[in-house]
Structure 1
Amino acid sequence: MSRYTIDPLQFDKLNTYSVHDRHSKVSVDDFAGPVHPAMTVSQLINCLPTQLMGIDFPEFISRTALAHQQQHPIILGMGAHVIKVGLNPILISLMEQGIISAIALNGAGIIHDTEIAMVGRTSEEVADVLGEGAFGAARETGEHLNTAINQGAAQGIGIGEAVGKMLCEQNFPHNKHSLLAAAYKLKVPVTVHVAMGTDIIHIHPSVDGGSIGSAGHHDFRLFCSLISHLQGGVYLNVGSAVLLPEVFLKALTVVRNLGHQVTQFTTANFDFIRHYRPATNVVHRPNLEGGKGFNFTGHHELMLPLFAAALLDEIDKSQ
C-alpha cells in the first residue's frame, strides 16, 4: 500500500473520439517518394516529402528560376567560409551562365579568394602562429590587397572591382579558381563590406584606413544601387551571421527612403547554424511589405551544390 495520501487519477471515463474523424497534420499523401539509381536532381526534388523544408526548398528553387527567366537580379551575399570549403567553381559557373548577377562579400572573402588565386591554397592554422604574433602576417597577401585597395580608392572604384582588376592584371596561376577574377572578367559587380580591424590586411604596413573607407563606402553605395533593382528578384545570404545581414537591411531602408519600389522579392538564408540576424534581417523583416523569405540549415558544401543543380534543372525544364 502506498504511503501517499493522494490516489493516482483514473482514466476510465476519459472522452475519446475516432481517429477517422480527426484532422491530422501528416498524411501518407505527403510522404517522400522512393529514390532509385540514376535519378536526376529534378526527380530527387520531386520525391521529397511535402513537409517543412520539403515544401520550402522546391518553392525557393521555383521562385529563383522564375526571377532568372524574368531577368530580375539574383544577388549573392556570402561569408568567406563559402570560399574556404571550395565552392568557387560552382559560383563561377552560375556567373558564367548569367544566373548570379552580383556578389557581396565581407573583408575575409577577398583575402581567401586572393590567396587561392596566388598560391592555390588558403586558411592558416591560427593556433600554430598566434602565440608568436605571426597570425595574418603573410607578406604577399597584405601587399597585393592593400595596394589594390589604395589604387582603387585613388581611381574612384570600390574594393571588389579593385581587387578583381589586380588579380587579372597579375594573372596569378590559379585565377581560374578566383571568384573576384572571374567576376571582373564577366563584369559582374562585386561589393566588399569591411569592418575595420576584422581582417589580417588591416595590420600590415601597407594598410591605409582612408582608402579602405573610401573604396568601401563606394561599394556600399554600389550595393544600394543593386538592391534598388531587387523588385521581383532574389537575395541570398550564405554564411554571414552578422555583417552582411546588417548591410542588407541598411541598403534596403536607403532605397525605400529614396522612393524605389522594392517590396516584392525573395530572400533566403543558408547556413549550418541558425543565427538571429540573418533570420531577422534577411528572412523576416525585409518581407513584411511583401515577398517571402526562407531559412535553410545545412553545410555549405552540401547545400549550395544542391541548390545550384536544382536551379539549373528547373531553368532548363522551363525553357
Structure 2
Amino acid sequence: MAGRYPLFDRSALLVRPIGQRQHDLSAHKILPLAPVDAAHLELSEVAEQIVRARRRGAAVILMMGAHVLRCGVQRYLIDLMERGLITALAGNGACAIHDYELALIGATTESVARYIQDGQFGLWRETGRLNDVIAAAASENMGLGEAVGREIEESDPPYRDISVLAAAYRLNIPFTIHVGIGYDIIHEHPNCDGAALGAASYTDFLIFTKVVEQLGQGVVMNFGSAVMAPEIFLKALAMVRNVACRRGENGAGFTMLVCDLHNLPAGYRREALKGNPDYYFRPWKTMLVRTVADGGASYYVQGDHATTVPELWTAVRSCPAL
C-alpha cells in the first residue's frame, strides 16, 4: 500500500557529465605538508594530550565539516593518521562527496549560485556513482565511510594520494560518515536508495559509538561542524555512559577541542544564557561544557581550518612527549 501523496519523478532529471561542470577548488590548492608558526597556546596543550592519549591506548577522534577538506589540509590529516595519532574520524555526507570528487578528477565544489538557476546543481553523473557504492555497502552491512574509502583505494583514481577516506581504509582507521536525508547532492539522483543510505550511515554511527568506548583520557576534536559533530557525539556518549554506569564503571574524563570561526567569549567553559543567540551554537554548550562536566578539559580556538589544522600538526610534531 502506497502513501497518499504523490512523489517527484526522478526519471525526468537530466544528469550531466561532471566534466561539464566548472569547479571552485582544484587539487593544486591542497596545502603542502610543512610546519607553520604556532599562534595558539591551546593547540600546543591539546597536542600534548593527543600524544599522552595514544601512549595510554585511548582514542583520539577528529570530527569535521566538509569545509575542512575544502581548505586543503588533507596531507596534514593523512600524516597524523599515518603516525597513529588519530584513531577515528567522523564527517558529514559532503565530506565523502568532496573527498571522492577530488580523488577522481582532482577538483570539487560547484557554484550554487550558478547552477541552481537552471536546476543543474548537484546533478553530475560521476558523483552519483557514490549511490551505487552506498547500496553495495548496505548489502554487505558495511559502513558508508569504509565503503567509499574502499572504492577510492581499490579503484586507484588519479588523485588517490589526497583522499582522506582512502587513507583511512588503507590504515584500518574508521572514518564514519553521518548523513541527513536530503542534505547532499547525491540524494537528488535517480539511483539514490534512501534505505541503503540510512542503513550504511547508521552502521557508521554504531562504529563511531564503539570508538567512543575507548575515549577515557582520550581526545575529541571538532573542526567546523556546528550540528553533526555535537549531535552525533552527544548520542554516542550517552549510549556508552549508559552501559558503563550499569556496570558500575566511572570512565575517566577526556580532552575536547573545538576549532571554528565563531567568536566565543573568554568564559566559553560556561554555558551562554538562553537569551543569548550563541546558546544555540551547539559546539559550545554540548562539546565545550556539558559533555566534559565530569572532569574533562575543553579548549576553543577561533580560526580558519587552513590555519588551525597545520598549527595542530606542527604542535604535535614538536611535542616533547612524542
TM-score, normalised relative to structure 1: 0.81
Q: Is residue 46 of structure 2 the alignment partner of residue 60 of structure 1?
A: yes
2:255 maps to a residue whose letter is T
The CA deviation at 1:114 is: 0.2
1:51-90 counterparts in 2 under 5 A? 54=41, 56-90=42-76
Q: Is residue 321 of structure 2 the alignment partner of residue 318 of structure 1?
A: yes
Q: Percent of aligned pairs with the same residue?
A: 39
Residue 142 of structure 1 aligns with which residue? 128
Residue 30 of structure 2 aligns with which residue? none
Residue 200 of structure 2 aligns with which residue? 215
Equivalent of 1:234, from 197, 202, 219?
219
Residue 9 of structure 1 aligns with which residue? none
The CA deviation at 1:241 is: 0.7
What residue ranges of structure 1 are gaps of 5+ in the alignment? 1-39
2:178 maps to a residue whose letter is H
Q: Is residue 108 of structure 2 the alignment partner of residue 105 of structure 1?
A: no
CA distance in structure 1 between the aligned counterparts of 2:77 and 2:35, rounded to whole angstroms:
18
Deviates more, 1:165-174 or 1:88-97: 165-174
Residue 305 of structure 2 aligns with which residue? 300
CA distance in structure 1 between the aligned counterparts of 2:73 and 2:156, rounded to whole angstroms:
21
- Find runs of 4+ consecutive structure 1 residues off by over 6 angstroms: none
The CA deviation at 1:71 is: 2.5
CA distance in structure 2 between the aligned counterparts of 1:272 and 1:187, rounded to whole angstroms:
31
The CA deviation at 1:69 is: 2.6
1:178 maps to a residue whose letter is S
TM-score, normalised relative to structure 2: 0.80
CA distance in structure 2 between the aligned counterparts of 1:263 and 1:80, rounded to whole angstroms:
31
Q: How many residue pairs end up in the alignment?
A: 269
CA distance in structure 2 between the aligned counterparts of 1:262 and 1:146, rounded to whole angstroms:
39
After superposition, the CA RMSD in angstroms is 1.8
Residue 122 of structure 1 aligns with which residue? 108
The CA deviation at 1:281 is: 1.4
Q: Determine if contact 2:48/2:321 at 8 Å carries over to the other structure.
A: no
2:297 maps to a residue whose letter is K
Deviates more, 1:228-237 or 1:166-175: 166-175
1:85 maps to a residue whose letter is C
CA distance in structure 2 between the aligned counterparts of 1:281 and 1:263, rounded to whole angstroms:
18
Residues 186-217 of structure 1: per-residue CA shift (max 9 Å, x gap)? 11111110011010000101100000111111
The CA deviation at 1:73 is: 1.3
CA distance in structure 2 between the aligned counterparts of 1:304 and 1:222, rounded to whole angstroms:
25
CA distance in structure 1 between the aligned counterparts of 2:318 and 2:181, rounded to whole angstroms:
41
1:196-207 counterparts in 2 under 5 A? 196-207=181-192
Larger Rg: 1
2:219 maps to a residue whose letter is V
The CA deviation at 1:263 is: 4.0
The CA deviation at 1:272 is: 1.4
CA distance in structure 2 between the aligned counterparts of 1:90 and 1:229, rounded to whole angstroms:
24
Residue 264 of structure 1 aligns with which residue? 253
Q: Determine if contact 1:152/1:162 at 8 Å carries over to the other structure.
A: yes
The CA deviation at 1:306 is: 0.6
Residue 82 of structure 2 aligns with which residue? 96
Residues 94-143 of structure 1: per-residue CA shift (max 9 Å, x gap)? 11111111100101000000000000010011111101000001110012
The CA deviation at 1:151 is: 0.1
The CA deviation at 1:318 is: 2.7
Equivalent of 1:182, from 167, 170, 176?
167
The CA deviation at 1:261 is: 4.2
Q: Determine if contact 2:226/2:283 at 8 Å carries over to the other structure.
A: yes
1:203 maps to a residue whose letter is E
1:205 maps to a residue whose letter is P
The CA deviation at 1:291 is: 1.0
Q: Determine if contact 2:44/2:312 at 8 Å carries over to the other structure.
A: no
CA distance in structure 2 between the aligned counterparts of 1:285 and 1:76, rounded to whole angstroms:
19
